[in-house]
Structure 1
Amino acid sequence: MPASPDREIWRLAVPAFLALVAEPLFLLADAAIVGHLGTAALAGLGLAGAVLQTVVGLCVFLAYGTTAGVARRLGAGDLRGALAQGIDGLWLAVGIGAVTTVAGILLTEALVHAFGAADSVTGPAATYLRIAFLGTTPLLVMLAATGVLRGLQDTRTPLAVAVGGNALNVALNLLLVFGAGSVPGLGIAGSALGSVLAQAASAVALVVVVVRAARREGAPLRPDLPGIRAAAHAAAALVVRTITLRAALLVTTYAVTLGATGARDQQVQLATHQLALTIWTFLAFSLDAIAIAAQAITGRALGAGDVDGTRAATRRMVVWGVRCGVVTGLLLAAASPVLGRLFTDDRAVQQLLVPVLLVAALGQPVAGVVFVLDGVLIGAGDGPYLARGGLVTLAAHAPLVLVLGAASAGLVTVWLCFAGVFMGARLVVLVRRARGTAWLVTGPRAGVASAT
């Protein structure tokens, strides 16, 4: 580690923070625009967003695993090997994206009806989701390319692309949803199409940067099947870890649907839950900035054999995670009475959103620590433990939240379970691991950590 750990952390975290804040603005912009089409359309966007975020979220290993692997090789002094590994990740993203796009379009109706929502909600949800699946490959390529650049300790380029892509998304959404001049308004379909076009442009910009760096170092650009298979194999544990996280969110959304009584109540509950979850995701991405720095710093330090530096950086990043969580919690609590008005004119949704956001605010300091330690262990290549820990947290959360949903305990109670039980279980699992030494494996490749 450099003489000033804080300086190194924030050199990476600040651009990552700005880029990560820009990313969920794709959904925030969609929610703000679609919300003015009506509560049914907003609720439909909520269902479609839950499915799409789950599909893309399952592939977040393309960014996280690539960041850790590239950073380790960089720390070991093998820049060409780092870029070659990054190119393998890009090809893996293309392959997964192509399969997911076809499967997603074919299964759109089944996916949105799985939530058991009324026809007034599933119709807009299916319209949005069918078009949005066309952006799957660009989204996955963006993840992989961003992971390569983060592993190379470059968080500024992803920031520039994220800002540009988000601005383009807002412009296209406004144009295609409401229309202007000779361009007809397409409603919720226009929102999906605008997002797909913005995602494609962002993916192209990031790939150009990575390919140029690979050419400078003489790294191969053609698909390398052994390298792609190795990347897929290494990602298996992170996939399991991500499945458990996404499953927890899906189960929570299902509990909201299960607990609603009547079509109108279901619309209000789902619309409110969608807004709260979108805001939670927005804040999670902002807190995750330190976790991104943790992935890059941990991977590079362990690649160089610096165990003491890894420990020192982890301690500092946990401190900053707590501080940032307190700040975001206070800001969210203060803004909770007015945030609903930005997204919908429905008074029932506005009123219900306030107590839900107060619950989310209370969970922010815990989230700050959870995200940092998650990033540290991902950077260390400790995927198997994260997979097992994810199963434990899901087992603690899912039965309870489903019981609360079946009992119609209400949206606020469901969120208390999510913020308290789910995030609390993650905190216990991650702190337990970080206090040990099994994850401190050094060298250019992540070793197999012990199961203890």
Structure 2
Amino acid sequence: MHGHRRRRRGRGGARRRAGVTRPDGRVSARTLFGLAFPALGVLVAEPLYLLLDTAIVGRLGSVPLAGLAVGGLVLAQVSTQLTFLSYGTTARAARLHGAGRDDDAKNEGVQATWLAVGIGLLLVAIVQVLAGPITSVLGGGGEIADRAESWLRIAVLGVPCILVTMAGNGWMRGVQDTVRPLRYVVLGLGLSAVLCPVLVHGVVGPPMGLEGSAVANVVGQSVSAAAFVGAVVRGPRTRSVRPDAAIVRKQLVLGRDLILRSMAFQACFLSAVAVASRFGAGAVGAHQVVLQLWNLTALMLDSLAIAAQSLVGAALGAARRAAAVRVARDVTAWSVGFAVVLAAVFAGLVGPLPRVFTADESVLTSIDSVWWIFVAIVPIAGVVFALDGVLLGAGDAAYLRTATLLSALVGFLPMIWLALVLDWGLPGIWVGLAVFVTLRAAAVVHRTLSGRWTVTGADRTTSEGP
């Protein structure tokens, strides 16, 4: 009897930790940003490290730097298509957390980790076999391709660790712990940041050159992965840490939908770069500058979306449908407000900010031609990212997959290629992005208002049917 009461208190404690802290189900700013800020730290940590890595390798000369660019592109494509290990795991773990089943939520992390290791080892084997041909095609053969291949063969050994870190981020976000992932990621990247100049330039021993960058990456990734593995296996457990085929299968269902969604993004943005290059160097440079500002905006808004995933999943797992709807409204309001502030900042910096990146007049003229399109998109993106997070938290990945694919096929891709055929220039490409974002906004608003995503229960997701 006493044990039963202890279990009930434990479940109640988990429900109180489920994020919707006010009696009326509203999300406080402290709760939302307490989850979002550490998540933002995780999102920006790797891009910041990659800038440092680029600067260190850049001291070796143009050929090693080009080799890093080619090899890094391959590595990024190998790993970034598998973000379902974080986002899908968050959705499933959050529901279990909301139901007071934290041990089961951690088990989602265990199974995602097994999946990460298996997929990671498979990718290592594939890339080791194909590294030469891939880098030869991308690097145009010659010395650049050789350097890229040498870097890639070492760096790809860290792919299982990258994927394990994604899985660890996923289940920890699900149980509303975004602080420990930040510590683990910063620990690994901090070590890489120290090792990179030491190994590349031989600060202590003989210089390893470009290969030293790859070794530093793998060491740091291994440390982060080890920290996440330690967290997922520590503490009292009622479940085995062995692979569970049924759970892995459900995670793969979400993974299929999220991978297809990610591929739609890749097709759109690669097409945009390809078409921009047809309009000359000034257009390409302008597109790169504004696209990086767009990516920065996306990272900031995505941190709020991650908080929404965790809060919505917990509310639905606790069978609090009304609270989940309230979370969706509150997070969207915060996200749109934040996006409007960002848009106002960019509008105010229309003159000086582009000149931080370039002094080339042809590039600056091209930036001017798309700047206000970019500014106009940002508030719409506030809606898209918030409700993406809401629907991902509900496990509604199948709908998001279809909406993204249709928005790309109907909006972005036709506009990009029409811009080329009809000579619309860079503005045509960015109008295409505006159409893409607007169509996605309409789709996620429609789905949210329909209420079909509010499927309750710890083991249910809308992708599996109501």
Where 1:446 maps in the other structure, the secondary structure is coil
Residue in 2 that maps onto 1:159: 182
Residue in 2 that maps onto 1:289: 303
Residue in 2 that maps onto 1:24: 47
Where 1:5 maps in the other structure, the secondary structure is coil
Distance of 1:319 and 1:14 partners within structure 2:
17
What is the 5 A alignment of 1:329-368? 329-331=343-345, 334=349, 336-337=353-354, 339-340=356-357, 355=368, 358=371, 360-368=374-382
Q: CA RMSD in A?
A: 3.4
Q: Deviations 1:20-40 (Å, cap 9, x if unpaired)? A: 222332333334445556677
Contact 2:370 2:427 in 1 (8 A): no
Residue in 2 that maps onto 1:304: 318
More displaced stretch, 327-336 vs 313-322? 327-336
Q: Deviations 1:3-27 (Å, cap 9, x if unpaired)? A: 1512321221122122222233233
Instruction: Evaluate the alpha carbon distance shift between residue 336 and residue 47 of structure 1 in structure 2; reply closer, same or farther with a 3 A threshold.
Output: farther
Where 1:363 maps in the other structure, the secondary structure is helix
Distance of 1:92 and 1:246 partners within structure 2:
23
Residues 1:98 and 2:115 aligned together: no
Where 1:398 maps in the other structure, the secondary structure is helix
Distance of 2:162 and 2:258 partners within structure 1:
18
Structure number, greater radius of gyration:
2
Residue in 1 that maps onto 2:3: none
- Structure 2 residue identity aligned to 1:90: T
Structure 1: any 5+ residue segments left out of the alignment? none
Instruction: Evaluate the alpha carbon distance shift between residue 432 and residue 159 of structure 1 in structure 2; reply closer, same or farther with a 3 A threshold.
Output: same
Where 1:435 maps in the other structure, the secondary structure is helix
Where 2:408 maps in the other structure, the secondary structure is helix
Residues 1:148 and 2:174 aligned together: no
Contact 1:31 1:275 in 2 (8 A): no
Q: TM-score, normalised by structure 1?
A: 0.84
Residues 1:422 and 2:442 aligned together: no
- Structure 2 residue identity aligned to 1:202: S
Instruction: Evaluate the alpha carbon distance shift between residue 194 and residue 393 of structure 1 in structure 2; reply closer, same or farther with a 3 A threshold.
Output: farther
Structure 2: any 5+ residue segments left out of the alignment? 1-19
What is the 5 A alignment of 1:60-209? 60-112=83-135, 125-184=148-207, 186-187=209-210, 189-209=211-231
Where 1:24 maps in the other structure, the secondary structure is helix
Distance of 2:365 and 2:75 partners within structure 1:
25
Contact 2:283 2:366 in 1 (8 A): no
Instruction: Evaluate the alpha carbon distance shift between residue 287 and residue 124 of structure 1 in structure 2; reply closer, same or farther with a 3 A threshold.
Output: farther
Distance of 2:21 and 2:364 partners within structure 1:
49
Q: CA deviation at 1:384?
A: 1.0
Q: TM-score, normalised by structure 2?
A: 0.82
- Which protein, 1 or 2, shows the higher relative CO under an 8 Å CA cutoff with sep ≥ 6? 1
2:415 to 380, 400, 407: 400
Distance of 2:213 and 2:346 partners within structure 1:
27
More displaced stretch, 222-231 vs 195-204? 222-231
Contact 1:9 1:290 in 2 (8 A): yes
Instruction: Evaluate the alpha carbon distance shift between residue 185 and residue 357 of structure 1 in structure 2; reply closer, same or farther with a 3 A threshold.
Output: farther
1:386 to 400, 415, 422: 400
The number of residues matched between the two structures is 438
Residue in 1 that maps onto 2:21: 2
Contact 1:295 1:380 in 2 (8 A): yes
Distance of 1:379 and 1:36 partners within structure 2:
44
Instruction: Evaluate the alpha carbon distance shift between residue 323 and residue 166 of structure 1 in structure 2; reply closer, same or farther with a 3 A threshold.
Output: farther
Q: Deviations 1:192-229 (Å, cap 9, x if unpaired)? A: 332232222111112211211xx413331122233323
- Structure 1 residue identity aligned to 2:450: G
Distance of 2:412 and 2:34 partners within structure 1:
36
Contact 2:308 2:331 in 1 (8 A): yes
Report % sequence identity.
34
